[in-house]
Amino acid sequence: MKIGELAQQSGLSASRIRFYEAQGLIPKVERLGNGYRRYSPQVLQTLHIIQSAQRAGFSLDELKLLLPDADTGEYDQDELVTGLRGKVQEIEAMQRHLAESRARLLEVIDGILSRPEGMSCKANAERLLSSVKP
C-alpha cells in the first residue's frame, strides 16, 4: 500500500511514518518505479504497536528494543522481556508517586474543610502551607 493509504489506516501523518522509517522503527520500504513507497500490510501492524507502546510511555529508543529487527523481522526475546519488565517497574513507581501525591492533596482538602471556627481563610491557608512538606 502507498503511504497515503497507510497514513489513513493508521491515523498517522505521512511525515510521521517517514520519520519512523528514518528512525529504523519500520523497515526501509520498496520504492515503485515512480518513486512512491510501497508498504507491506505488516507495517500497519508495527505502526499500531508503536502507537500503543507510546501511549504506555515507551520512548522511541525503548521501542527500538521491543520491535522486531527491521532487516530480519526477528525479535530478541531477552531484550523484549527486559524492556517490558523495566516499563512495568517504571509504571509501578509512578503509581506509588501518584498515590502519595493524592494522599497529600486529600490531606490539604481536609485541612481546608476543617478550618478552625473563627479562623480566616488566609490564616488557614498559611497554617496549611506551613505544614506542607516538600
pLDDT per position as a tens digit, 73-100: 787 888 888 888 999 999 999 999 999 9
Q: How confident is the model at residue 102, as a pLDDT?
A: 95
- Residue 101 within any structural domain of the chain: yes
What is the arithmetic mean of pLDDT over 106-110?
Answer: 88
C-alpha pair distances (Å), 109 with each of 95, 97, 104, 134:
21, 18, 9, 17
pTM to 2 decimal places: 0.66
* Owning domain of residue 111: 76-134
The pLDDT value recorded for residue 133 is 64
| CATH at residue 34 | 1.10.1660.10
Please check whether residues 45 and 93 belong to one and the same domain: no
pLDDT surpasses 90 at 111: no
Number of domains in the chain: 2
**70-89 b/e (C-beta count within 10 Å ≥ 16 → b):** eeeeeeeeeeeeebbeebee
Q: Please state, for a pLDDT cut of 90, what percent of the chain lies above it.
A: 34
Task: Give the whole-angstrom CA distance, residue 43 versus residue 40.
Answer: 6
Q: What percent of the chain has pLDDT over 70?
A: 96
Q: For residue 65, is pLDDT > 70?
A: yes
